[in-house]
Structure 1
Amino acid sequence: MTWQDTINTAADRISGHIVKTPVLRSDAFGHVVDLKLEQTQHTGSFKTRGAFNTLLASDVPEAGVVAASGGNHGAAVAFAAQRLGHRAKIFVPEIAGPAKIALIERTGAHLTVVPGEYANALELAEREASESGAMQIHAYDAPLTVAGQGTLMREWEEQGLEADTVLIAVGGGGLIAGALAWLGDRRKVVAVEPMTSCALHSALEAGAPVDVAVSGVAANALGARRIGGICFDLAKAAGTDCVLVSDGTIIEAQQALWQAHRQLVEPAGATALAALMSGVYKPEPGERVAVLVCGGNIAPDPTIV
């Protein structure tokens, strides 16, 4: 079964459980660009796609599900579990932030906030799954997760995407892996990472996934210590370009999305746009560019609005 077959199956499976998110063409950022506003998805991120695909395709044990997350994946798993009638235990690092923590709490899931970063939450989630018999749902490095995230790019093409190049922010790699798996070589995909959380860039330089230090304004969503193996293999095979952006340019893109289109997004959600606005990614003459806006879990902040 090919990746495209798997993603088609996932799309059929999760239909009726997710939002078909809107698209927007804009000339407000220095280039004409197509935006996919995935921050309007249930729980504010694309993660809901992978969560529903995994739960609907699996025999969930009586003990329920366990997930470690920087925040968005945990919220998505908690939401999907609530909708489908399963217990959920979610582990997030303290850097997840109040908006994401509150979102998970509203689902009724059992939430544990862990000192440290995502890797620390993952360690505790793995221990809990082992001891309780609950099913662990990995945030990005699992075939069902990747297939679920791949439905986003499938949906975007169905909506008439005309771009030659798609810019996608990368944390652990589930989202861009899904895009690469669906698109094959039909369009160019550019990975965008913060300079201070760049697991894919470091892996491609090293020739294999490696541990990286994690910090910065987008660390609670893009702060994976090591890129997922599925993502690495797909990115390496595709010869994926990877560009790095500063925290300052991420914040500028975040502010620009609000000022131009009243789209309030978290730093991770603006990271791909930061590459275009800052000139880190420079389109060729006539090149049609699209940007995936992927996360909106942030409390309103007067420095943005």
Structure 2
Amino acid sequence: MSYSQLRAFDAVARSGSFSRAADMLGVTQPAVSLQVAALERAYRTDLLTRKGATVSLTADGATLFGLTRQMFGVEAEIEDFLGSSLKLQRGHLRFAADGPHLALDLLAAFRASHPGVTVELILGNATETWNALLQSAADIAMLANPPEDPRVAALPVAVQDMMLLVPRGHALAKRGEVALKDIVAEKVVFREHGSNTQRTLERALRKQRLHLFPVLTVGSREAMIEAVSRRIGVGFVFDREKNADPRSVAVPIRELRGSNRNMLVYLKPRRRRRTVAALIEIASKQPVAAQ
């Protein structure tokens, strides 16, 4: 028994004619006849009763026809499934990010183009997000200032300034810009070790040979915003991380303008995945923030 024999038999059973079956399959009528005859001979049974140009099913033929209809029906479903996957009508994407704002902007554009694809968003700090990518817990990631790695490709998405976050009414709140030296006398709130915000700030402080002494260290940008709003100290966020909370004001830091380069990063072999390729295409054509 071969696939071609079953396909030939099924076509004859559906059409009731060898000639029509040949037309359906795009082969010659003798080729169809030979395939069906070989199937009958191999299993020593008559599947069709031939009456001139037409044929009818025997009892065994009717039973086999029911089975081939199931078989080729499943085949059609498989073709539909794989075809819809190819067109991204379905699928799943695991997306890691070190912050929700740019990631969600990009995912909104992705979902608008590919509504059948489900997305899992994995949020963490910079270190956690990088590890998720390298350990294949994520298919692709949005990460600020990622390290260079020969295994990883990167696509620039946005550039952001670091901002000093101060309580409304603070002496620095009305400034158009502040310098790092202006913050030395302030009580400050730091982000946790492993945060891109903290790493970027510390690099700039070392370059300026300045020191800040935190009164509090927090584990998220949301906690940073709340701590500043409660006047525990001044803090640090990137410009797209500041929400509309009226209790605080964000002021650009001169030395840290353009200090945050958000990149879409992925392990190079993952580029072949259709969901990953689609997200990269959207990010390259529809930047989610001005460069």
TM-score normalised according to structure 1 size = 0.28
From the CA coordinates, give the structure whose radius of gyration is larger.
Answer: 2
More strand by percentage? 2
